[in-house]
């Protein structure tokens, strides 16, 4: 197994040796296309792919023709490995062996993935775990194996693969949650990668067997011919090969920590969530009044338009200074179940809800929720993940804080599915508020996955579940009520309905709203060949002059 700091056999001149690139999921589809394009640049390509069925449940029959075989037959250099990205120990061992054998590991493209039917209210626990394990935990395994080697060498490229299901509104369940977390991890690592190491991700679309299978499921479940997507409009997988190879070229440095939509003939930069409205909550006469006013004046409009409504006359008047004239409007619900392992938060949320006339029930299991009977709202605020200690580098801390995040996302989704089941059983609408402690890197990725899941919940349940996602970034060591009043507002106020699926956030002394990921600039070039001016224009999109 490779160890950080181990002396590598680099040969007499590292600069002249053959580049070594690993492509996970390189046995077919987009991974194979990128692998073959890389081989044409002269790189030694290692495809890592257990060659399993689309859902990952069984191994496919061995065939004589493989990606590595085609590369070698065409005069290139390649090798195949059947290791799964879910096997952290073997991935580390493989990467270390390659670095020892060839004098370094130059790039890794992580395309590995499986597809199983899951949604906001659907999917078995096994399906959820399997998809999150491959797409999210597997990506973290690849990063954990490659980054120490590249940090030692002072160079390297890593390219992850996310999906539009992780940044557009889509009821994609585990897949959408995993791909949003992959994007979050990429955005964070890109800012703190080791010197000389470039980390990015692509969000590709192509007519692959995985996409074909997903569209087939959509057609069977909805009756729609394509589920809103057209296979005929999608590029063939091989059209994405040149771009993937270009993004891990040794000279590529036009962007770092970016997600790029890749559509064969078009590339778009997908921007990460950004604060678009921030509202003060400390030292005000009534936090409840401020939350109510902020929703109607700023947050609801910003969520609908995905831009701030500021930039003109001041909007809040005396909201921050004047005591409320009367009682709060009647609550839309009469009872609320609270699930939390944070005693201070439980007390403050219960107090805020009881002040509005809401009966609170403290529960600790999904079975208890099902046995409770009809409730108007459920608040989930389970803390998990702690800041990494004893880690000196920022990138290593980010990876350490993502240990177990896949399991945490799965647990959050289990609660959402249970709420959906209870709502459907009783044919009774339920407001669901999921609060994620997001003071660590892993917590931030978990919060983004929660927001991505919430975006689809209302439509997926026919308005039976009204889901809210709140990223709690307040100081856990200086608890002053935290998000209690905002949570109570989301549970009780009809004005809050417009914030269902929004990316809400609360910090020390403020609360607000982040935008959803969205394209901020595009390059159309006909493809698949990447034009010579591509890097220069991409650089200006991500960093204007």
Contacts of 286 (CB under 8 A, 6+ apart): 323, 324
The helix/strand/coil state of 462 is coil
Tokens describing residue 120: 């906001």
Find where tokens 């999917």 sit: 123
**73 alpha-carbon distance from chain centroid:** 38
Tokens describing residue 464: 């039976």
Q: Which residues of 148-176 are buried (b: 16+ CB within 10 A; e: fewer)?
A: bbbbbbebbbbbbbbbbbbbbebbbbbbb
Q: Which residues of 311-332 are buried (b: 16+ CB within 10 A; e: fewer)?
A: eeeeeeeebbeeeeeeebeebb
Alpha helices in 322-390 (DSSP H): 343-354, 366-372
Tokens describing residue 280: 């003060």
Tokens describing residue 526: 């006909």
Dihedral sign for Cα 475, 180, 404, 499, please.
positive
The helix/strand/coil state of 409 is helix
Main-chain dihedrals φ then ψ at residue 229, nearest 5 degrees: -120, 150
Dihedral sign for Cα 433, 435, 441, 444, please.
positive
Q: How far, CA to CA in Å, does 229 sit from each of 80, 328, 417? A: 33, 45, 26
Q: For residues 310 and 516, what is the distance between their CA atoms, to the nearest angstrom?
A: 18
Plot region of 262 (φ>0 → left; ψ -120 to 50 → alpha; else → beta): beta
Let me know if 139 is a catalytic residue. no
Do residues 176 and 122 touch, judged by C-beta distance below 8 A? no
Asked if the peptide bond before residue 528 counts as cis, ω within 30 degrees of 0, the response is: yes
Q: For residues 282 and 268, what is the distance between their CA atoms, to the nearest angstrom?
A: 39
Q: Which helix (H) or strand (E) holds 139?
A: helix 138-153
Q: Of residues 95, 120, 167, 175, which has the active-site annotation? A: 175
Do residues 233 and 265 touch, judged by C-beta distance below 8 A? no
Largest alpha-carbon pair distance within the chain?
Answer: 81
Q: For residues 121 and 264, what is the distance between their CA atoms, to the nearest angstrom?
A: 33
Tokens describing residue 34: 């990128």
Q: How far, CA to CA in Å, does 175 sit from each of 163, 181, 200? A: 9, 10, 19
Alpha helices in 427-483 (DSSP H): 441-460
Positions marked active-site:
175
């Amino acid at each position: 197994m490779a160890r950080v700091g181990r002396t590598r056999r680099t040969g007499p001149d590292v600069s002249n040796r053959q580049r070594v690139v690993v492509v996970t999921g390189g046995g077919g589809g987009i991974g194979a296309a990128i692998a073959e394009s890389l081989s044409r640049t002269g790189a030694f390509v290692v495809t890592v792919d257990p060659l399993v069925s689309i859902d990952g449940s069984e191994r496919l029959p061995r065939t004589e023709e493989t990606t590595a075989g085609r590369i070698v037959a065409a005069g290139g250099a390649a090798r195949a490995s059947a290791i799964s990205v879910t096997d952290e120990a073997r991935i580390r061992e493989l990467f270390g062996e390659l670095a020892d054998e060839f004098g370094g590991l130059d790039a890794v493209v992580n395309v590995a993935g499986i597809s199983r039917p899951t949604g906001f209210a659907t999917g078995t626990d096994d399906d959820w775990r399997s998809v999150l394990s491959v797409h999210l935990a597997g990506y973290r395994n690849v990063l954990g194996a490659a980054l120490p080697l590249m940090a030692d060498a002072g160079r390297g490229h890593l390219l992850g693969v996310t999906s539009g299901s992780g940044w557009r509104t889509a009821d994609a369940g585990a897949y959408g949650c995993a791909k949003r977390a992959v994007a979050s991890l990429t955005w964070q690592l890109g800012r703190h990668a080791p010197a000389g190491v470039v980390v990015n991700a692509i969000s590709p679309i192509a007519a692959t067997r995985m996409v074909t299978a997903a569209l087939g499921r959509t057609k069977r479940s909805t009756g729609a011919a394509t589920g809103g997507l057209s296979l005929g409009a999608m590029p063939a997988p091989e059209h994405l090969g040149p771009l993937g190879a270009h993004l891990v070229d040794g000279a590529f440095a036009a962007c770092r920590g970016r997600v790029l939509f890749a559509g064969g003939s078009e590339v778009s930069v997908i921007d990460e969530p950004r604060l678009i409205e921030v509202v003060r909550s400390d030292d005000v006469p009534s936090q409840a009044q401020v939350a109510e006013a902020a929703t109607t004046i700023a947050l609801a409009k910003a969520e609908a338009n995905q831009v701030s409504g500021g930039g003109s006359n001041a909007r809040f008047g005396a909201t921050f200074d004047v005591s409320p004239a009367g009682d709060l409007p009647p609550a839309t619900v009469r009872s609320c179940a609270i699930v939390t392992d944070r005693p201070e938060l439980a007390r403050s949320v219960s107090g805020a809800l009881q002040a509005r006339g809401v009966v609170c029930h403290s529960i600790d299991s999904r079975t208890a929720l099902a046995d409770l009977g009809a409730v108007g709202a459920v608040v989930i605020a389970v803390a998990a993940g702690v800041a990494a200690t004893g880690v000196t580098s920022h990138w290593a801390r980010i990876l350490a804080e993502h240990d177990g995040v896949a399991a945490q996302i799965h647990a959050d989704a289990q609660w959402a599915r249970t709420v959906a089941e209870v709502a459907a059983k009783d044919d009774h609408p339920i407001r669901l508020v999921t609060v994620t402690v997001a003071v660590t890197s892993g917590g931030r990725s978990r919060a983004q996955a929660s927001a991505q899941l919430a975006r689809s919940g209302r439509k997926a349940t026919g308005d039976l579940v009204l889901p809210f996602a709140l990223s709690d970034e307040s100081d856990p060591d200086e608890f002053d009520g935290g998000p209690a009043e905002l949570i109570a507002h989301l549970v009780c106020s009809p004005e809050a309905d417009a914030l269902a699926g929004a990316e809400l956030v609360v910090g020390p002394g403020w609360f607000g709203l982040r935008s959803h990921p969205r394209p901020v600039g595009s390059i159309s070039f006909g493809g698949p060949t990447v034009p010579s001016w591509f890097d220069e224009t991409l650089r200006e999109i991500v960093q204007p002059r």
